[in-house]
Structure 1
Amino acid sequence: MSADDPLSIGIFGLFVHPGLSPSGRARYPRGVMRTLSRFFAALAILAASGCTSSPTPHPEYTDATNGTPDGQATADDGARAACTALGGTWASDDDVCVGIEPEFDGSTGALDPATPPTADVVGLTITTSADGAVFHVTIASDDVDCQTYADWWEVVRQDGTLAARRIPAGPHVEDQPWSDASAAIALDDTDRVVVRAHFTTTGYNGQVWVGSLAEGFTPARIATTFAAGLAGAEPLPTTCTP
């Protein structure tokens, strides 16, 4: 198509300005020009909005099932079923199980969210092999320094005995949330356990996970008094790397 072709000139003129020809003369009546100008302005706004990315979710926390940044655990059918099996009530406002069996829930305070600082277990995946069950956790903690941080996390049996404990090298001030995994733990399918983290200044006040290999696991709030004596049990942190 040549530059002198009427169709070529018409298309060129349309995109140079909706109401001017390439020579600058008005092509359309004034009312039509105004309408076309508004039309092209609207197209420009739509094009710009189409290129805008969606807001990034808050990066500090992950949900309960698949690591989506969110800030609260996201329930799935398995978590709800585990909550029911434990005799608990599902709190839909923040997707967590409350009011579970007395062994875990010795005070009504467990019905309410904890006051920060906390160390919350916000994600849990379990893999099994002939050697036992490996617990992969994601923890969101209000770490500041070696005096104020999540200094360990652990797996505790329903009778209050310690099944496993992991001690990080130091606080996770920048990399939140953070992940870790246990060694293989010998458990029967019906053994109920609590997966929880400990904070230096507030103890066991964060969100935990409760369940068994047979029933599944649910994010939960339980009494801070459950197996509280384990806070003084070995192993304990001996060093801290800021």
Structure 2
Amino acid sequence: MKTLACTILSFWFLCCSTDKEEVLVDESDSTSIFDFNAQVTEVNISGESNAYTIATTVSSPDTGCDQYADWWEIIDLEGNLIYRRILTHSHVDEQPFTRSGSNIPLENDDEVYIRVHMNTTGYASAVQKGSIDNGFSAAELSSEFAEGLEKIAPLPNGCAF
């Protein structure tokens, strides 16, 4: 729903504004209205079956507690939550950043998505898809896929900074 609202707003600005010069977006500006979401850029795995440690690298347009990546998660292909790593603060000056989760209950051949969530815009569509055996690679997933997980614990209980 948030994505639809952003699309409609962007369309209105581009089509309906009386001064189109003012609404053109500088693509080099990383905080443009078109750059709302974060993305998982790398996944590193260690450990053993049903007790893996996964280090996930995230790139996000954090500006502080008003806009930051508040978690990354692992979900199966049906949208069931397997693991969630809560991010307790913004990473304005640390981009991209890597955070690990441990004791993750995956088998070597379990195919999953790893995605990131922004506190302001929800799930990113840029994800990593793969398995322990075959590795992970960039993929696209609808930001609405299993969006009901946004309300399932564990959830962040605030932003430290």
TM interval, short-chain normalised: 0.7 to 0.9
C-alpha displacement of 1:206? 4.2
Q: Aligned match of 2:58 in 105, 129, 139?
A: 139
SS in 2 for 1:184: strand
Distance 2:134 2:95 in 1: 29
C-alpha displacement of 1:131? 5.0
Q: Are 2:122 and 1:203 aligned?
A: yes
Whether contact under 8 Å (1:190, 1:214) holds in the other structure is yes
Q: Residue by residue, what CA displacement relative to the aligned partner does 1:38-89 show, whole Å, maximum 9, x if unpaired?
A: xxxxxxxxxxxxxxxxxxxxxxxxxxxxxxxxxxxxxxxxxxxxxxxxxxxx
C-alpha displacement of 1:224? 1.0
Instruction: Give 1:5-24 correspondences, 5 Å limit.
Output: none
Q: CA RMSD in A?
A: 1.4
* Residue in 1 that maps onto 2:81: 162
Q: Aligned match of 1:152 in 71, 77, 102?
A: 71
C-alpha displacement of 1:173? 0.8
Q: Are 2:41 and 1:122 aligned?
A: yes
Q: Aligned match of 1:230 in 146, 149, 152?
A: 149
Q: Aligned match of 2:108 in 182, 189, 212?
A: 189
Q: Aligned match of 1:218 in 121, 134, 137?
A: 137
> Moved runs in structure 1, 4+ residues, more than 4 A?
none
Distance 1:215 1:171 in 2: 32
TM-score (norm 1): 0.50
The AA in structure 2 aligned to 1:137 is T
Distance 1:128 1:219 in 2: 22
C-alpha displacement of 1:168? 1.5
SS in 1 for 2:102: coil
Q: Residue by residue, what CA displacement relative to the aligned partner does 1:190-241 show, whole Å, maximum 9, x if unpaired?
A: 2111111001121112421001123321111111121111111111111211
Whether contact under 8 Å (2:123, 2:143) holds in the other structure is yes
Whether contact under 8 Å (1:121, 1:197) holds in the other structure is yes
Distance 1:238 1:179 in 2: 21
Larger Rg: 1
Q: Gaps (5+ residues) in structure 1?
A: 1-114
Distance 2:136 2:111 in 1: 9
Distance 1:201 1:218 in 2: 26
* Residue in 2 that maps onto 1:80: none
Q: Which has the higher helix share?
A: 1
**When the two structures are aligned, how many residues end up with a matched partner?**
128
Q: Which has the higher strand share?
A: 2
Whether contact under 8 Å (2:52, 2:105) holds in the other structure is yes
> Greater relative contact order (Cα 8 A, min sep 6): structure 1 or 2?
2
